[in-house]
Amino acid sequence: MNLSHPYRLTFACLLLLLTASVSRGAEPAPEPVAELTLSDAMILGVVEGVTEFLPISSTGHLIIANKFLGLESEKQLTNAKGELLWYKKVSPKYPTGVPLTLKVAADTYTVVIQVGAIAAVAFIYWEQLLSMFVGLFGRSSSGVRLFRNVMLAFFPIAVVGLLLHDWVDQHIFSIGAVIWALVFGAMLMLWAERWRKANSGIGYSRNSPADLSVGNAASIGLFQCLALWPGTSRSMVTMVGGYLAGLQPVKAAEFSFLVGLPTLAGAAVYKGWKSGPAMIEVFGWGNVLLGTLVAAITAAIAVKFLVKFLTSHGLAVFAYYRLVLAAVLVVVFYVI
């Protein structure tokens, strides 16, 4: 796809959203019980799209955005009749029930609009996706190897993510956790850049994602598990893993984008299945679709920027950005 014609992506995303709207039939959209303004939806869409594939942590930025937009209230919501709303109704599993809050809806929103970022990467890397598809039918040896490597890198996060998802949600979604992860990620990136440059003259950086060994692909998947800690950045740890497996920065980013497709799709489907109805009850459909569209367009721009930038500069600049952001957060949330 040639992104010098961005209207193609915009049109495709609009068509996708229109199809989703029509599929709901004539049933009227639920009346939202809490206000997510047009600007809130667009801001969250931009933050998701810009940060999802840059090595700076989309989850961390979205936690910060939710806090500044006032979407972290844990007060139980009520409907138009003043009746209390429940995320999980009283049951043997939940003896006291789980209240439906603005925070529950906003946390779900920031995961579900990842669908837009997924669509952007699928449009940009459609040739690689097609190669993997035909490879499954024996028509592309490199395609089937690429599919194998993507699945090997996806499998660890799928297993560990399912096991730890609820624990992560309950215990480490916080500004403090994001700050520590931003600093750790910056140090890891600076070390990886030094390692890459030190090894560039001894046969390093000759591989493509399809050429990775089974062990290297699985190792990148284990690196990806670090991203369960909010603020770490899934794209960052997979790119660092790609460095250590012998990929050039651009190829490491490409593999990170492709591994992100099943990873993000799995997270969006799981979160949507678990909390999607509650999110729609709180916000309604309109701004959810808007945030997804904005995320798709901005993610496409961010991916093209990152690929061009990495060709000349590597990851170091993003490491310094993470350190500056961590310092700003310390001042804003713990000093002022």
Nearest in space to 296 (alpha carbons), one of 39, 123, 132: 123
CB of 311 closer than 8 Å to CB of 58? no
CB of 104 closer than 8 Å to CB of 87? yes
pLDDT at 19: 45
- Mean pLDDT lowest among 16-25, 158-167, 211-220, 292-301: 16-25
Q: What is the average per-residue pLDDT within 168-175?
A: 80
Burial (CB count within 10 angstroms: exposed 0-12, middle 13-18, buried 19+), residue 258: buried
Look at 238 and 23; give whichever has higher pLDDT.
238
pLDDT in tens, 74-87: 999 888 788 888 98
pLDDT at 332: 84
Instruction: Flag whether pLDDT at 156 surpasses 90.
Output: yes
For the whole model, what pTM was predicted?
0.84
When the pLDDT of each residue in the chain is averaged and rounded to a whole number, the result is 86
Every domain of the chain and the residues it spans:
30-335
Q: In whole angstroms, what is the distance from residue 61 CA to residue 51 CA? A: 7
Burial 107-142 (b: 16+ CB within 10 A, else e): bbbbbbbbbbbbbbbbbbbeebbebbeebeeeebee
CB of 243 closer than 8 Å to CB of 195? yes
As a dihedral over the C-alpha atoms of residue 58, residue 117, residue 289, residue 86, rounded to 10 degrees, the angle is: -50
Q: What is the average per-residue pLDDT within 319-327?
A: 95
Instruction: Flag whether pLDDT at 15 surpasses 50.
Output: no
Residue with tokens 């090595």: 55
Instruction: Work out the pLDDT band at 315, boundaries 50, 70, 90.
Output: very high
Look at 98 and 10; give whichever has higher pLDDT.
98
Q: Please, where are the H alpha helices in the chain?
A: 6-22, 38-51, 58-68, 102-112, 114-124, 126-135, 141-171, 175-199, 214-224, 234-244, 249-283, 286-313, 316-330
pLDDT at 33: 75
Q: In whole angstroms, what is the distance from residue 288 CA to residue 280 CA? A: 8
Nearest in space to 242 (alpha carbons), one of 141, 318, 310, 312: 310
Nearest in space to 142 (alpha carbons), one of 46, 201, 52, 212: 212
pLDDT at 319: 96
